[in-house]
């Protein structure tokens, strides 16, 4: 097929990272085209943060990112900081609300963010409903093939995102192209997702508790939700984005439950164990943990210690952890190996002119705005260099 048009920069994917890249490239005076297979740009941004888009987090730092090489993010997050994103949002008159100290959401919804991204990218030729099917080297440039024709580009930015949450329209095209150009792909798995386990009962589904999850060397304190198939909620989501390890769950992290039960034997001896536990945990959880209706005074200390361990020290072995599917995971671990990408420019070290940004890379951020921050930061850096 003959070449339809020539651009300086072609961006594949009009998501968070692609749009951030387009804005900077256009500002530099580059002729930019962007191809998006969906009907509209930025579908994941629209769905993010429950529709209110958690755009960044003031705690952005390399240790909130996970992948084979977490240090990779340092270059981009040093150039694009949370304050840059907050100032950008304010300049676009996006009303922000801070939740949970440092998590910034859009008060009037994610559409404000998408509108601002599109305003910034003005001057980019955006082709929606246009899937890119192939990219090939072409005398120092690239041909970018779509169903509607081939385009020529000096630089190509792959911003095709992660492969989870397929209902929002996802593809593994970025991984395929990376492989084709000699890049290694770190195997993909769900992250920021629930866990299927039969450690708890489905009858607890819908109840939320404050929990502390120990995973590797980290202790995560956040809320945990019981589900029909296992456990979810922020604490579990955050655990799943970390390197997989045994989990130790404490569902009453501020209470030494054994101490509390032992004391209750003398102070409240005629109460049931569940009665005492319901001062610490939701009643249904307390009853599930100890359905035995004897008076607490009739329990031996070793029985109380065993009950306490089922609250303060719940062990789930790594091999029993089943991540609850790609379809519901907010992000993926894995993707294009970052050791073959320049952390200063996002350019491929194997193929000059080819850039990778956002979630297509082996970079997954913690829950709380870290993933969009990565998309903005890596996108802007590539837009500066492509």
Q: Which residues bind ligand FAD (CB under 6 A)?
A: 12-18, 35-38, 43-45, 47-49, 53-54, 131-132, 159-161, 165, 169, 171, 173, 330-331, 358-360, 369-372, 375
Are 263 and 269 spatial neighbours (Cβ–Cβ below 8 Å)? no
378/355 Cα distance (integer angstroms): 10
Query: What gap in Å lies between CA 277 and CA 8, rounded to an integer?
Result: 65
Q: Which is nearer to ligand FAD, 157 or 257 (CB)?
A: 157
Q: How far is the CB of 339 from ligand FAD (least distance, A)?
A: 19
What's the rounded Cα separation, in Å, for the pair 3 and 6? 8
Q: How many CB atoms lie within 10 A of CB 172?
A: 17
Q: What's the closest the beta carbon of residue 350 comes to ligand FAD, in angstroms? A: 20
Report the residue number, 132 or 314, with the smaller CB distance to ligand FAD. Answer: 132
CA distance 202 to 241: 24
Q: CA 205 → CA 69, 194, 224, distances in Å? A: 36, 13, 11
Min dist. Cβ of residue 190 to ligand FAD (A): 11
Name the minimum Å distance from CB 147 to ligand FAD: 10
Q: Which residue, 38 or 82, has its beta carbon nearer to ligand FAD?
A: 38
Residues in Cβ contact with 12 at an 8 Å cutoff, skipping those fewer than 6 apart = 18, 34, 35, 132, 135, 144, 156, 157, 158, 159, 160, 173, 174, 177
Q: How far is the CB of 30 from ligand FAD (least distance, A)?
A: 19
With contact defined as beta carbons under 8 Å apart, do 175 and 336 qualify?
Answer: yes
Minimum separation from the CB atom of position 331 to ligand FAD (A): 5
User: Which residue lies nearer to ligand FAD by CB, 134 or 256?
Assistant: 134
Classify 356 as helix, strand or coil: strand
Nearer CB in complex with ligand FAD: 247/336? 336
- Which residue of the chain is nearest ligand FAD when measured via CB? 15
Q: Alpha carbon 141 to chain centroid distance?
A: 33
For residues 332 and 186, give the distance between their C-alpha atoms in angstroms, rounded to a whole number. 11
For residue 148, what is the DSSP state? T
Q: Which is nearer to ligand FAD, 33 or 316 (CB)?
A: 33
Output 43 or 380, the one with its CB closest to ligand FAD.
Answer: 43
**Least distance from ligand FAD to the Cβ atom of residue 309, Å:** 35
């Amino acid at each position: 097929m003959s070449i339809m048009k020539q651009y300086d920069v072609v961006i594949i994917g009009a998501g968070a990272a692609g749009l951030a890249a387009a804005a900077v490239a256009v500002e530099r005076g580059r002729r930019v085209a962007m191809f998006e297979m969906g009907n509209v740009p930025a579908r994941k941004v629209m769905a993010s943060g429950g529709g209110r888009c958690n755009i960044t987090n003031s705690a952005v730092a390399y240790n909130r990112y996970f992948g084979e090489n977490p240090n990779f993010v340092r270059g981009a997050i040093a150039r694009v900081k949370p304050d840059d994103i907050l100032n950008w949002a304010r300049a676009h008159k996006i009303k922000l609300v801070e939740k949970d100290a440092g998590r910034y959401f859009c008060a009037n919804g994610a559409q404000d963010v998408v509108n601002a991204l599109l305003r910034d990218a003005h001057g980019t030729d955006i082709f929606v409903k246009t899937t890119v099917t192939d990219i090939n080297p072409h005398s120092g440039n690239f041909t970018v093939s779509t169903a509607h024709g081939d385009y020529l580009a000096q630089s190509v930015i792959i911003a095709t995102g992660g492969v989870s949450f397929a209902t929002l329209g996802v593809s593994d095209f970025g991984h395929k192209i990376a492989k084709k150009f000699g890049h290694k792909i770190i195997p993909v798995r769900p992250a920021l997702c629930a866990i299927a386990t039969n450690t708890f009962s489905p009858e607890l589904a819908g109840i939320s508790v404050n929990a502390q999850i120990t995973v590797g060397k980290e202790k995560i304190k956040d809320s945990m939700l019981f589900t029909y198939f296992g456990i979810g909620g922020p604490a579990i989501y955050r655990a799943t984005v970390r390197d997989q390890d045994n989990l130790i769950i404490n569902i009453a992290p501020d209470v030494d439950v054994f101490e509390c039960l032992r004391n209750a034997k003398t102070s409240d001896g005629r109460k049931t164990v569940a009665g005492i536990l319901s001062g610490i945990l939701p009643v249904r959880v307390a009853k599930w943990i100890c359905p035995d209706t004897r008076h607490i005074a009739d329990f031996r200390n070793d029985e109380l210690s065993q009950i306490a361990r089922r609250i303060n020290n719940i062990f789930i072995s790594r091999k029993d952890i089943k991540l609850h599917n790609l379809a519901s995971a907010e992000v993926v671990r894995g993707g294009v190996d970052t050791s073959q990408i320049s952390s200063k420019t996002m350019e491929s070290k194997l193929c000059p002119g080819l850039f990778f940004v956002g979630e297509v890379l082996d970079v997954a951020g913690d829950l709380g705005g870290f993933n969009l921050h990565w998309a903005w930061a890596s996108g802007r850096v590539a837009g500066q260099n492509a």
